[in-house]
Amino acid sequence: MKVLVTNPIAEAGLDRLREAGHEVVTDYESTGDDLLAAVADAHGLIVRSGTEVSREVFEAAEELVIVGRAGIGVDNIDLDAATEHGVVVANAPEGNVRAAAEHTVAMTFAAARSIPQAHARLTAGEWAKGEFLGTEVGDKTLGVVGLGRVGQEVAKKLDSLGTDVVAYDPYISEERADQIGARLVDLDECLDAADFLSVHTPLTPETEGLIGEAELAQLEGGYLINCARGGVVDEPALAEAVGDGILRGAAVDVFAEEPVDPDNPLLSVEDVVVTPHLGASTEAAQENVAVSTAEQVVAALASEPVPNALNAPSVDETAYPRIRPYIDLVSTMGKVATQLLDGRVERVEISYQGEIADEDLDLVTASALQGVFEPLEWQVNAVNALRIAEERGVEVTESKTRTSEDFRSLVTVTVGADGTEIPVAGTLFQGDEPRIVLVDGYRVDAIPSGRMLVVRNYDEPGVIGLIGTVLGDHGVNIAGMFNARGTIGGEALTVYNLDDPVPDEARERLAEDDRIIETRFITLGEDD
């Protein structure tokens, strides 16, 4: 498969892609229409912050499976458009955490002790020892805005130097903040308490301009450090606050526009330390990020879970072997249930019973929905299944219970519409062999593969023989048969695994017999 790389990454990442058998195309110059042409036949796309992955890109790339962001921030990628088109977006949040945190700490000390300014004066021939009176970081209060991976690492490092750490992050628990030695507060209290304010949020509509003139005034007498994303801090307001002495200093590694405009006001304020987005610029970080991103692209192209997927269900790699057999099983069950319903799907319920209920099952649920929707010819995969359900007005519910009467684990997919519900349940036998064990209330032991004929009939002598004869007359070979009945002489249901499609003429012949209530020919996407 073709993987297009539009921004430079470490060679180790490119090598990993090639080792997996993929064609790697590097194109660091294409933009606009040239980029759309380059990505048209790509299955994977790897970018950094220098490539804008817009809706137009996703519309042009019909074969695209994954966009890998070699770094953390994804504000240059249209996540909504990716999800609508069923494309995984994954970043590499771990690879440069240490590098970004260390750079933040370095920038904190550089601003507090005026290190770049003193260096410039000394190399210019001035011994300006008496003009620089620094601030000690120890025994001060560090305010962290955004307690994600990098924010946590910065908090740990500066906490070890004797700072009191307060943090603002509406998406993290107090327990987690306590674990890293931070006290969780609201933004106003964070600004009021901080001597040093370190910003570590992604750039989103919610965080754009989060730190503006009013917030900087609350930080009076302190320092602001931004090594996260440009645009979170109002740059003109920050330049003015430092220039007017409201803040003692600032350190900025990221800008709203990069490369930075030479007229950016932050560049002309002496007490603002600036670096050109160097947070992840270490040899180790670049290699880690490249390999991590490549691994996720390889996983996506192999239809494996993507650990750092931002818009698709993911699962811990240690748990994946336990749930993997259920992924294909529930997808098949969803296909069977929808084809038995033979109509518009209004609701889907996925229930987990027994040991399986203890697992992280988001990916399994998404696969069940994918199976339900595929026979309806909706363009669906595990990335956009929930989005499609919402857009189509399909109600989705999930339930879990640790008890299961007859099986160690049991999964049931139920589809419904217009007062009718069709449940299909499955489990794994020894050796992870998948089985469908319930179809619309009937206990069966069916192998979920290939082609299936589901027949409802009255439990009378000769019916199964008739079905076998009709199928044989039309050249259809029966690979397996699984029969169930409610009561003697009542209704029965039989599932046939077939080697061949069932012609319409065969089903019409069966329908002519009064003992046959209904036949449904089901295809599962294998050799059909």
Quick one: tokens of 229? Answer: 């994303």
Note if the bond before 501 is cis, omega within 30 degrees. no
**Which is it for strands 196-199 and 272-274: parallel, antiparallel or unpaired?**
unpaired
Q: Where are the alpha helices (DSSP H) in 114-211?
A: 115-123, 149-159, 174-179, 187-193
Q: What values do phi and psi take at 333, rounded to 5?
A: -60, -40
Beta bridge partners of 3: 24, 44
Is residue 223 within 8 A of residue 273, CB to CB? The reply is no
Contacts of 100 (CB under 8 A, 6+ apart): 72, 150, 153, 227, 279, 280, 285
Is residue 182 within 8 A of residue 158, CB to CB? The reply is no
Cα(149)–Cα(155) distance, rounded to whole angstroms? 10
Q: What values do phi and psi take at 21, rounded to 5?
A: 90, 15
Is residue 337 within 8 A of residue 372, CB to CB? The reply is yes
Cα(373)–Cα(121) distance, rounded to whole angstroms? 68
The 8-class DSSP code of residue 261 comes to P
CA dihedral 288, 294, 298, 301 (to 10 degrees): 140
* Strand, helix or coil for residue 144: strand
Cα(100)–Cα(151) distance, rounded to whole angstroms? 9
97, containing H or E segment: helix 97-113
The Cβ of residue 276 has, within 10 Å, a number of other Cβ atoms equal to 11
Residue with tokens 């008890």: 403
* Strand, helix or coil for residue 37: helix
Is residue 71 within 8 A of residue 77, CB to CB? The reply is no
* Strand, helix or coil for residue 124: coil
Catalytic residues: 229, 258, 277
Contacts of 490 (CB under 8 A, 6+ apart): 458, 459
Please give the distance of CA 144 from its chain centroid, rounded to a whole number: 26
**Which is it for strands 23-26 and 44-47: parallel, antiparallel or unpaired?**
unpaired
Cα(162)–Cα(138) distance, rounded to whole angstroms? 5
DSSP per residue, 404-438: -SS-SEEEEEEEEETTEEEEEEEEEETTTEEEEEE
214, containing H or E segment: helix 213-218
Cα(121)–Cα(241) distance, rounded to whole angstroms? 23
